[in-house]
Chain A
């Protein structure tokens, strides 16, 4: 007896039968998380305006499931850091990151968040990966909305393929430890 397979749109391959589908629970959870991200827009400067354009109707971020923005870190999944982070803002960014609950992802939008951008000065943090771990970097100054959406799609790929127990693994905890986040 052969098993039929079917693939959910935006979801995993499943062995299907009459009224049931068989797949790994990791993949279903990954699909659910990836298509319902609640982003926290940490918009500081010009990239924030491009984010507003991404949220608006022409480039609509809502089609990817990330319609509901959460400004409270306790209720957010994805920290989108958009814009220059100065040294004065670094501790606040770290505090917002630690307030988020696991699993959480970070996307650094723009050249300033990725590496300091054109501001190689005494007061600008040369990249947010000096204070928090980052998953996806979106280059550009500012990146056009299509690039930001590309970054969101890459985050969705990461989320879909993440092992369930990753957040409790020794490797991940070492990573957090290296940033003095415990």
Chain B
């Protein structure tokens, strides 16, 4: 149990090499923004050292949901790790799944057909919209505006319906396979996506009208929790937090994957890195995602929905039950008797929070030798004490929710 007393904070501080006199200790009070708190969206703790209402220092503690993904991945075959990657940034789990599949495909040297790439792009952009819907509406809720959350969450339900049509699950999707999708998208899926594209813009505009130029919202969020571009790069920020600080780094543009170079979209960049900029960057990214999905649907090529790799892509059930080769491939893939190349590979995708990377070291077996997941939330949350120094408690709450810290990705 964390015991917030002067001694406990002192012990942490002494490790940092800072000395404090008894005089200084007595004038501050310590507030435990504990693991269970309505406004910390996720379980992480901050012990705040406050001078009245102003925060002087903060000591974060994380790990309350450490589920040992990296150790777990060393004990599961490649195709079972998709379910683990779901639970990283669970608000946009298709992006994690497809990122993992891209990593394994890079290791195996699998070339994916264009149609598969475009379908994956549609899914990833839908997931990005879903993630930003949660983040932005929750920032509004933290300032007191509950209406936006209720209106906009219905569109997340529509996106869940699209996932359900494709893979059967709402939230932790486990979508696709190494080498493609299990089945092609049916007419119903395309009808639902088109329906979403016609109705979502109106809902987003309504949300913006309620919140974005609202004087109370702007007073609460402008110049709150800012960070400069240089400092953000020092802290290895990525994603909307970095783009709000002025650096236009987007993995989709820098190292394109999955045919992103075919699409025409802009990267929104802020200037001051404060909460309002982060909100606006995420809002604009949603509009860009809608545009990318429209382009993908318009230019969707005909072709296969999976790569032609019988060694790694499970054959369809009709073949497994009726042909000898199908049965043998199915057995070999599931029991892990395929020769996987040895080597190390790093693949990153642009997740809802930034660069989500997978570093896979393979020793030829059916399980990874080492899987390291580069989790954007874990890396940029280190800067939180610096970002809230000198601000008030309510500003600290807003900074945390606008950074979109997802506990699953923080602790892994």
A and B touch in the complex (CB under 8 A): yes
A98 within 8 A of B: no
The distance in angstroms between the C-alpha atoms of A96 and B153, with both chains bound, is: 29
Contact with B along A32-53 (1 / 0, CB 8 A): 0000000000101110011011
Is the contact region of chain A dominated by helix, strand, or loop, or is it mixed?
loop
Stretch of B35-43, B298-306, B345-353 lying at the A interface? B35-43
The distance in angstroms between the C-alpha atoms of A141 and B67, with both chains bound, is: 15
Residue from B65, B149, B170 in contact with A83 in the complex, judged by beta carbons closer than 8 Å: B65
What are 8 A-B contacts with C-beta separation under 8 Å?
A58-B154, A69-B38, A71-B38, A88-B63, A121-B67, A121-B71, A122-B68, A123-B66
The 5 closest A-B pairs by CB, nearest first: A71-B38, A46-B90, A121-B68, A56-B153, A89-B64
A160 shortest CB reach to chain B, Å: 28
B42 shortest CB reach to chain A, Å: 8
Are the C-beta atoms of B157 and A53 separated by less than 8 Å? yes
A91 within 8 A of B: yes
| A45: chain B residues within 8 A (beta carbon) | 42, 65, 87, 90, 407-408
Are the C-beta atoms of B84 and A58 separated by less than 8 Å? no
The distance in angstroms between the C-alpha atoms of A53 and B171, with both chains bound, is: 10
Contact with B along A92-110 (1 / 0, CB 8 A): 1001100000000000000
Q: A57-B154, A142-B172 are in contact. Are A88 and B64 (CB under 8 A)?
A: yes
Q: Which of B139-153 contact A (CB under 8 A)?
A: 149-150, 153
Interface residues of B (CB under 8 A from A): 1, 34-38, 42-43, 63-68, 71-72, 83-84, 86-87, 90-91, 134, 149-150, 153-154, 156-157, 160, 170-172, 407-408, 411
A3 within 8 A of B: no
Are the C-beta atoms of B149 and A56 separated by less than 8 Å? yes
Are the C-beta atoms of A96 and B68 separated by less than 8 Å? no
Residue from B38, B134, B150 in contact with A49 in the complex, judged by beta carbons closer than 8 Å: B134
| A88: chain B residues within 8 A (beta carbon) | 63-64, 66
Interface residues of A (CB under 8 A from B): 42, 44-46, 49-50, 52-53, 56-58, 69, 71, 83-84, 86, 88-89, 91-92, 95-96, 118-119, 121-124, 141-142, 144
Q: A58-B157, A71-B36 are in contact. Are A92 and B64 (CB under 8 A)?
A: yes
Give A112's nearest chain B residue, CB to CB. Answer: B67
Residue from B63, B64, B153, B160 in contact with A44 in the complex, judged by beta carbons closer than 8 Å: B64
Give B80's nearest chain A residue, CB to CB. Answer: A118
Q: A50-B170, A142-B172 are in contact. Are A119 and B67 (CB under 8 A)?
A: yes
Give A45's nearest chain B residue, CB to CB. Answer: B408
Of listed B43, B170, B407, B411, residue having the most chain A CB within 10 A: B43
| A83: chain B residues within 8 A (beta carbon) | 65
Are the C-beta atoms of B408 and A46 separated by less than 8 Å? yes
A143 shortest CB reach to chain B, Å: 10
Give A59's nearest chain B residue, CB to CB. Answer: B157
Residue from A50, A91, A119, A122 in contact with B1 in the complex, judged by beta carbons closer than 8 Å: A91
Give A89's nearest chain B residue, CB to CB. Answer: B64
Q: A92-B1, A95-B1, A124-B68 are in contact. Are A57 and B150 (CB under 8 A)?
A: yes
The distance in angstroms between the C-alpha atoms of A44 and B87, with both chains bound, is: 12
| B72: chain A residues within 8 A (beta carbon) | 119, 121
